[in-house]
């Protein structure tokens, strides 16, 4: 059931940027993906991303809790 729901909602993004910004180089792919698809938010629990960045270009980096709080407003 979940597989069919997810497969109907999935969008495959090919990174068009290749910035190297993070202490943990494995995190760069998430920032690049958010920038490539012109996301408004990057929602994460990753401490490195949350500690190092608040915004990158127009992408706000935040936790799920903060995002839900903003969304309610």
pLDDT in tens, 8-67: 777 777 878 888 888 888 999 999 999 998 999 999 999 988 988 888 888 999 999 999
- Residue 7's pLDDT band, with cuts at 50, 70 and 90, is low
Domain borders along the chain are 17-72
For 25, what's the count of Cα atoms within 13 Å in the CB-facing half-sphere? 2
Res. 73: pLDDT tops 80: no
- Residue 4's pLDDT band, with cuts at 50, 70 and 90, is low
pTM of the model: 0.73
Distance between CA atoms of residues 43 and 63, nearest Å: 5
Higher pLDDT, 2 or 22: 22
42: CB partners within 8 A, 6+ apart: 30, 31, 34, 49, 56, 59, 60, 61, 62
Q: Which helix (H) or strand (E) holds 72?
A: helix 64-72
């Amino acid at each position: 059931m979940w597989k069919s729901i997810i497969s109907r909602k999935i969008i495959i993004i090919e990174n068009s940027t290749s910035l190297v910004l993070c202490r943990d180089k494995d995190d760069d792919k998430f920032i690049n993906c958010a920038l490539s698809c012109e996301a408004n938010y990057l929602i994460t629990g990753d401490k490195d991303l949350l500690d190092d960045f608040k915004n990158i270009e127009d992408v706000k980096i935040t936790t799920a809790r903060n995002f839900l709080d903003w969304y309610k407003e």
